[in-house]
Structures are given as C-alpha cells and as structure tokens.
C-alpha cells in the first residue's frame, strides 16, 4: 500500500510537473499565436490597403482607358474626315487639271488663230500698201505726164514766139522797137502762162508735221486755207516726190489738222517739223 501510494504520489508529481510544463508551453505558444495573429492582421490591413490602392489605380486606369478610347474614336473620326477631304481634294485637283488642259488647248487654239489672223492682217496690209503704192505711182505718173505735156506746150509756144519775133522785124527802128516790145510782152505772157501751168500741175500744198504717234496711229499737221481739208478726206503724204503713206482727216481746226494714219504709212520719215505735200 505504501509503495502504491508512493507511486501514486510520484505520478501525481510528474503529472503536476507535466501540467505545469504544458501550461507554460501552451502559454508561450498562445503568445506566439497572438503575435502571429497580430502580424496576420497587420498584413491583412496592408493587403487591404494595397488592394484599395490597386482598385483606385484600376479605376484610374479604366478612366484613362476610356479617355484613350474616346480620343482614339475622335482621331478615327478625324482620319475619316481627312480621308473624305483628301478624296474631295483629289477630285478637285483632277477637275482643275482637266480644266487646265482644256484652257491650255483653248490658249493654243487662240494663239494659232491669232497667228493666222496676224498673218492675214499682215498680208492684207501688204496688199493694201502695194495697192496704195501702185495707185500713188500711177497718180504721180499722170502728174509727170501732165508736166511733160505742159513743158512741151511751153517749148512749142516759145519756139513759135521766137519765129514770130524774128520774121516780123522791119527796117525802121520804131517799128522794130514796137514789135520787139510786143514780142517782149508776148514772152512775158508766156512766162506767166508757164508759171500758171507749173502751179496747176504741182503735187499739192505743203504743210508741216506738228506731231506723230505711231502707237495710236495719229498725226497732226499745220492747217492753212490752201490745204482745203475737211473731216473724212483721204490724202497721200508726199516727201521729195516719194509717197510715204495715206492719211484720213478726222478733225480740222484753225491751226491743226488731226488725221488717222492708214496701214502702210512710213512713219519713220514723218518726224515732227518735216515739210510734206498732200496729194488728193
């Protein structure tokens, strides 16, 4: 019995020691577990904070993504608009090029027509100038023929006067002197007739060129009663027995005659101050 009680006491002591050790061990583990739990709570709080920040970042990214999508949509619309404008501009450029080609063709046709018209005008002016020169030459030849006829008549009249004066001489001095006086008077009459014939057969009245505008085709001449010009009259300008061209009178005043230069006129020899004659 004593040994059994001793054993029981020993077992009780060991149980107490084991319980105490278990108590201390469990207390330490509990503290560790509490520390671990606190750390876990702290980690959980940190993770939740990180999750909240991540959610906020995700929201911000979603907002920026939405903005980027809107901007991309706007850029796409702008791109489509630019494509449409470029297509319209290409069409405009194509139409403009077609119009330009048609305009160039029209310009080439007009230039060709202008060259043809210039050639026709030049040919017409040359033919007109040739015709006017031929007419002037024929008029001058007629005047020369008239002058030659007048000179021949004068020579015949002078020869007749000489023959008459030589055959009509008498022995007495008084008769001879009277007949010589009559012959002298007759010769004076012939001289007057000669000057009258020359003035009648002259080319025309003389005048002076006051001004000339080749660009505008106008010429101004000094007016005098001897000219007898009126608006609409066409005359030929003569200088040193050469025809320089025709003019048509447009205005007449007391001092000046304003006329238009007709095609074919030689304006180089019609400087201001030049003395010319007018042939009707």
Q: What angle do CA 73, 75, 77 make, to 5 degrees?
A: 70
Given this model, what pLDDT does residue 176 score? Answer: 42
Assigned CATH class of 204-280: mainly beta
- What's the mean per-residue pLDDT of the chain? 77
pLDDT in tens, 81-93: 999 999 999 999 9
Q: What is the total residue count of the chain?
A: 280
pLDDT in tens, 146-204: 777 777 777 777 777 777 766 654 444 444 444 444 444 434 443 434 333 333 334 67
Reading the block at residue 111, the tokens are: 């230039």
More confident residue, 272 or 180: 272
For helices 173-200 and 2-167, angle between their N-to-C axes, nearest 10 degrees: 160
Share of the chain above pLDDT 90, in %: 17
Contacts 24+ apart (CB under 8 A), 126-129: 126/264, 128/262, 128/263, 128/264, 129/263, 129/264
Beta bridge partners of 207: 276
Looking at 4-13, 63-72, 259-268, which range is the least confident one?
A: 4-13
Looking at 145-149, 242-246, 254-258, which range is the least confident one?
A: 145-149
d(CA 187, CA 166): 13
Q: Judge whether residue 220 has pLDDT over 50.
A: yes
Q: Judge whether residue 105 has pLDDT over 80.
A: yes
Q: Judge whether residue 280 has pLDDT over 50.
A: yes
pLDDT in tens, 25-79: 676 666 777 777 788 888 888 888 888 888 898 988 998 899 999 999 999 999 9
Share of the chain above pLDDT 70, in %: 77
Given this model, what pLDDT does residue 179 score? Answer: 41
Reading the block at residue 273, the tokens are: 């101050």
Given this model, what pLDDT does residue 31 score? Answer: 72
Given this model, what pLDDT does residue 78 score? Answer: 92
d(CA 160, CA 155): 9
Given this model, what pLDDT does residue 114 score? Answer: 82
Given this model, what pLDDT does residue 170 score? Answer: 46
Given this model, what pLDDT does residue 134 score? Answer: 67
Reading the block at residue 178, the tokens are: 């009277």
């Amino acid at each position: 019995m004593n040994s059994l009680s001793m054993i029981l006491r020993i077992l009780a002591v060991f149980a107490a020691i084991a319980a105490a050790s278990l108590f201390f061990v469990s207390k330490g583990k509990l503290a560790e577990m509490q520390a671990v739990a606190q750390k876990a709570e702290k980690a959980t709080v940190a993770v939740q904070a990180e999750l909240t920040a991540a959610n906020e970042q995700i929201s911000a990214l979603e907002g920026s993504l939405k903005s980027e999508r809107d901007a991309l949509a706007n850029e796409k619309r702008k791109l489509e608009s630019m494509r449409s404008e470029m297509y319209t501009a290409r069409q405009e450029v194509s139409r403009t090029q077609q119009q330009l080609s048609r305009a160039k063709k029209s310009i080439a046709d007009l230039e060709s027509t202008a060259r043809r018209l210039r050639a026709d005008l030049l040919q017409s002016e040359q033919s007109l100038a040739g015709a006017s020169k031929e007419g002037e030459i024929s008029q001058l030849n007629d005047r020369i023929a008239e002058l030659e006829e007048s000179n021949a008549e004068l020579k015949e009249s002078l020869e007749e006067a000489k023959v008459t004066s030589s055959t009509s001489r008498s022995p007495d001095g008084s008769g001879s002197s009277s007949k010589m006086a009559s012959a002298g008077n007759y010769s004076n009459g012939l001289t007057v007739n000669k000057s009258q014939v020359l003035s009648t057969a002259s080319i025309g009245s003389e005048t002076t060129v006051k001004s000339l505008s080749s660009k505008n085709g106008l010429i101004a001449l000094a007016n005098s009663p001897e000219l007898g010009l009126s608006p609409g009259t066409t005359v030929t300008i003569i200088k040193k027995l050469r025809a320089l061209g025709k003019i048509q009178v447009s205005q007449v005043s007391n001092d000046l005659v304003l006329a238009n230069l007709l095609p074919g006129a030689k304006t180089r020899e019609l400087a201001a101050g030049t003395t010319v004659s007018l042939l009707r």
